[in-house]
């Protein structure tokens, strides 16, 4: 029988980490995770049933995701050789860091931004160099580039639109970063379907550019499908590190089927965009709130006083949103996902009751 001191065997850098905590509160209205609150349309569910029946669960999935890549190739106007499929875009972030960074190398990104850039980097023994966003949650390329170059950054991430602030950075400033940075620029377009702004057309001119996209925000969060679009040289390196069968058959085939029958999903997206405008307008009427513009499927707002109290009172009413107060730049800030009209109305009614 072995009784080892396991903590002595674990790397110091791993022991210093904290596990990423995801809210798992059983609230009736969940507006905290930037998911699509609408269930799949009936016609899409029927397609998924057909996929399930046709999937050989006893066989390994296609390791190269060929049908899905073909579909994405047609939709995006790129070659299949420009595509890599991930188990969510988080996996692709990790693989890109494995491809381009040695231990103790530095990763760069603005702040505040998507937390997983720093979390994944730290877990891999990498350093993070942040560049503070201005009061409008934007940045200027020149000082940002100076920060990257001075710190020897190998790879920089730009969330576009930015999570958790919701805005798209100035396109001209992002363009300058792509053109002038001596390393890899990853433009994370996870919320592209709500912004319709992209740097995809820049790929042929800039082989240091990687575009990330996700299917999680438009209704397939449970399937964990993300993809990267990049120069074939970069895709080849990703495929060297990507584990075989990283994307399961159901995820591949259901995503492929949905993308080929996208109209019902686009109708949901259009409804969410109208609801986003309604939510921003309604929240802006509360004088105690500062509401920030959004190009995504969520809205960031700051309360005058204790955001934790507001967060708790909403939870008491079975409504879960995201409390961001722990970030130094986001004191008293909360983020609410755009839900169904009924969910949004319930949220706004409770806000009116709480903020009088």
**Model's pTM, two decimal places?**
0.95
Percent of the chain residues past pLDDT 90, beyond the cut: 92
- Mean pLDDT over each residue of the chain, to the nearest integer: 96
Specify the pLDDT at position 3. 85
Specify the pLDDT at position 221. 96
> Is residue 195 within 8 Å of residue 46, measured between CB atoms?
no
Specify the pLDDT at position 17. 82
> Is residue 111 within 8 Å of residue 230, measured between CB atoms?
no
pLDDT band of 1, cuts 50, 70, 90: confident
d(CA 250, CA 270): 26
Phi, psi angle pair for 322, to nearest 5°? -110, 125
> Is residue 355 within 8 Å of residue 283, measured between CB atoms?
no
pLDDT at 245 over 90: yes
Q: Give tens-digit pLDDT for 40-89.
A: 999 999 999 999 999 999 999 999 999 999 999 999 999 999 999 999 99
In CATH, what number does 60-259 get? 3.40.640.10
Q: Give tens-digit pLDDT for 298-355.
A: 999 999 989 999 999 999 999 999 999 999 999 999 999 999 999 999 999 999 999 8
pLDDT band of 13, cuts 50, 70, 90: confident
Provide the CB-side half-sphere exposure for 282 (13 A, CA): 20
> What ranges do the domains of the chain cover?
11-41+264-354, 60-259
pLDDT band of 142, cuts 50, 70, 90: very high
> Cα 205–210–214 angle (5° rounding)?
135
Name the one residue in this structure whose structure tokens are 């072995």. 2
Phi, psi angle pair for 299, to nearest 5°? -130, 130
Taking domain 11-41+264-354, whether its CATH number is 3.40.718.10 is answered by no
Q: Mark out the alpha helices in the chain (DSSP H runs).
A: 6-9, 12-15, 42-54, 66-76, 89-100, 116-123, 141-150, 171-180, 192-195, 232-241, 249-259, 263-284, 307-316, 341-354
pLDDT at 38 over 80: yes
Specify the pLDDT at position 12. 85
pLDDT at 21 over 80: no
């Amino acid at each position: 029988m072995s009784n080892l001191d396991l903590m002595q065997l674990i790397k110091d850098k791993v022991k210093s980490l904290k596990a990423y905590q995801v809210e798992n509160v059983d609230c009736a209205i969940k507006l905290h995770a930037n998911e699509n609150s609408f269930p799949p349309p009936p016609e899409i569910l029927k397609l998924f049933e057909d996929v399930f029946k046709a999937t050989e669960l006893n066989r390994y999935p296609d390791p190269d995701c060929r049908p899905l890549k073909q579909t994405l190739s047609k939709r995006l106007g790129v070659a299949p050789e420009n595509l890599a499929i991930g188990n969510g875009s988080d996996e692709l972030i990790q693989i890109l860091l494995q491809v381009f960074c040695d231990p103790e190398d530095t990763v760069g990104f603005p702040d505040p931004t998507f937390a997983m850039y720093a979390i994944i980097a730290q877990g891999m023994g990498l350093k993070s160099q942040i560049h503070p966003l201005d009061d409008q949650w934007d940045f200027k390329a020149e000082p940002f580039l100076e920060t990257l170059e001075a710190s020897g950054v190998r790879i920089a991430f730009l969330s576009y639109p930015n999570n958790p602030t919701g805005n798209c950075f100035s396109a001209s400033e992002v363009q300058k970063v792509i053109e002038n940075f001596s390393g890899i620029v990853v433009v994370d377009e996870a919320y592209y379907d709500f912004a319709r702004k992209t740097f995809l057309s820049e790929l042929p001119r800039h082989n240091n550019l990687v575009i990330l996209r996700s299917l999680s925000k438009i209704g397939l969060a449970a399937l964990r499908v993300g993809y990267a679009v990049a120069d074939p040289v970069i895709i080849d390196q990703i495929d060297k590190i990507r584990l075989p069968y990283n994307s399961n058959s159901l995820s591949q085939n259901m995503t492929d089927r949905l993308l080929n029958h996208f109209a019902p999903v686009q109708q949901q997206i259009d409804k969410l965009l109208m609801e986003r405008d309604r939510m921003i307008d309604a929240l802006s009427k509360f004088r105690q709130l500062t509401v920030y513009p959004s190009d995504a499927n969520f809205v960031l707002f700051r309360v005058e006083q204790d955001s934790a109290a507001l967060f708790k009172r909403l939870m008491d009413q079975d409504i879960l949103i995201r409390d961001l107060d722990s970030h130094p730049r986001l004191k008293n800030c909360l983020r609410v996902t755009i839900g169904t009209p009924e969910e949004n109305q319930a949220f706004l009614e409770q806000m009116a009751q709480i903020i009088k």
